[in-house]
Amino acid sequence: MTEIDMRASLLLEPGVVKVQARPMPEPEHDEVVVRIAAVGVCGSDVHYYHEGRIGDFVVEEPMILGHEASGVITAVGSGVPADRIGERVSIEPQRACRVCEQCKRGAYNLCPAMEFYATPPIDGAFAEYAVIQADYAFPIPDSMSLEAAALCEPLSVGIWSNQKAGTRPGSRVLIAGAGPIGIIVMQVAFAFGASEVIVSDIAPTRREAAERFGATRTLDPANPDDADGALEVDIFIDASGAAPAVTAGILALKPGGRAVLVGMGKDVVALPVGRIQAREIELTGVFRYANTWPLAIELASSGRVDLDSLVTARFPLDRVEEALQASVDPQALKVIVTPNE
C-alpha cells in the first residue's frame, strides 16, 4: 500500500471476499470523504455474497459491499464548506440524478439513474473511506453513537414502510418477520402511534427478540393455534419475503386495510386476489426510501427507536466474510463491520 491507498473488502466472486488496497477516494466539488466508523450488514450484502446478483443487479467485477454506514468527514470538495471536516455523520447511501420525473416529484428512490452503495457497479462502505454527496451526509448529535448512525439506513426502511402503510395513532399492525427490519418496523409503528403491533416469525429466538423490543404479542405461523386470519388488523407489513406469510398477512387485514411488502422473496408469488378485491385491500411495495434521514436521526437520538440494542456482533474489516455468515444466524440481529478498528 502507498500513502494514498486505503484498505477495502471486495467481493471478487460469489463466496469470495478479500481485503485489498484501493486508491483513496477524492471528493468531487459537491462531495465529502468520510472515514467509515461502522457499517451494518444487510440481507442484500449476503445475497450478493452468495449469489453474485439480486434480480437484474449483477456483480460483474470486484465490488465493495456495505451500504448502512456512518463515520467522520475528513475532506470536502471545493463546493462544500471546510468547517464540515470533523462532523460525525450518518450516510444516506444514494446519488439520484435530481432532474428526472421521479426525482422532481420527490420520489428520488425510484430514480432510474440512481447510484446506490453496494449495488453494481457502485462500491459500498466496507472500506476505510467512502465518498458521498455532501447533502447525503447528515450530521448527528453528540449523544448518538456511530453504530446507531449507521443503522439509520434500515431505520429509514422502517420509516418508509410505515409511511406507505399510513400508520397512525390507534393503528393495529401485523408484521411478518422478526429480523432486524421487522423489529425496526415495529418500533417505528409504535413511534407513529400504533396501539397494537403483532409480530409473526417461525423462529422462537426471533419472536423472543420481538417481545424484548416491545411487541404487543407474537405468533408462530407453524402453530395452528396462532392462525392470524381472524386478526382483522388495519395494516400488514411483510418483512420476511416468505410467500405464505404474505398470503396470511393479506388475509388478516380488515376491509380497506393496507399491505406493504418489504422483505425480499421470490419475484413471482400467488396472491389472494379475490380477497384483495372484495375487501378493497391496498397493496404496495417498498423500494428503499426518500427524505427519511432527518426523522430517522430524531427517532434514534430521542430514544423512541432503540438501534444500539440491535447490535449483536462486531467484526473488523479483515473478517467481513465472518460478518456476512454471522448475520444469517437466527440468534443475530444486527452485525456491524468496523473498517478502521
With respect to residue 301, please indicate whether it lies within any of the assigned structural domains: no
pTM of the model as a whole: 0.96
Within a domain: 211: yes
Query: What CATH number corresponds to the domain at position 104?
Result: 3.90.180.10
The predicted pLDDT at position 220 comes to 95
The C-alpha cell 409504535 sits at 190
Please indicate, yes or no, whether residues 274 and 177 belong to a single structural domain of this protein: yes
> Are 9 and 30 contained in the same domain?
yes
Whether 241 shows a pLDDT value over 60: the answer reads yes
Rounded CA-CA distance 118/319 in Å is: 18
Domain count, the chain: 2
Q: Quick one: residue 15, left, alpha or beta (phi over 0 = left, psi -120 to 50 = alpha)?
A: left
pLDDT in tens, 158-175: 999 999 999 999 999 999
pLDDT value at residue 69: 98
Q: Are residues 331 and 279 in the same domain?
A: no
Q: Which three cell numbers stand for residue 64?
A: 465493495
Q: What are phi and psi of 232, to 5 degrees?
A: 55, 55
**Same domain membership, residue 163 and residue 281:** yes
Please state the rounded mean pLDDT for residues 16-25.
96
305: its cell numbers: 427507536
Same domain, 186 and 261: yes
- If you average pLDDT over residues 256-264, what whole number do you get? 96
**Mean local confidence (pLDDT), 224-236:** 82
Q: Are residues 70 and 170 in the same domain?
A: no
Structural domain includes residue 291? no
Q: Are residues 118 and 42 in the same domain?
A: yes
Average pLDDT, stretch 299-317? 97
- What residues make up the domain containing 315? 5-151+307-338
**Burial readout 214-246 (b: 16 or more C-beta within 10 A, e: otherwise):** ebbebbebeeeeeebeebebbbbbbbbbbeebb
- Calculate mean pLDDT across residues 89-113: 97
Residue 229's pLDDT is: 60
CATH number, domain containing residue 256? 3.40.50.720
Checking if the pLDDT of 271 tops 90, the result is yes
- For residue 299, being part of any structural domain is answered with no
Nearest to 251 by CA among 154, 176, 341: 176
Judgement on whether residues 19 and 146 belong to the same structural domain of the protein: yes
Q: Is residue 121 part of a domain?
A: yes
pLDDT in tens, 102-157: 999 999 999 999 999 999 999 999 999 999 999 999 999 999 999 999 999 999 99
Report yes or no on 292 lying in a domain.
Answer: no
Q: Provide the pLDDT for residue 55.
A: 84
At 3, the pLDDT band (50, 70, 90 cuts) reads: low
Give the pLDDT of residue 34.
Answer: 98
Whether residue 174 sits in one domain with residue 44:
no
Let me know if residue 298 belongs to a domain.
Answer: no
98 and 130 both lie in a single domain: yes
- Rounded to 10 degrees, the C-alpha dihedral 153/10/338/21 comes to -130
Whether residue 30 is found in the same domain as residue 89: yes
Instruction: For residues 178 and 213, state if they share a domain.
Output: yes
**pLDDT beyond 90 at 48:** yes
Most confident segment among 227-241, 263-277, 285-299: 285-299
Give the pLDDT score at 228. 59
Is pLDDT above 90 for 56? Answer: no
Residue 296 domain-assigned?
A: no
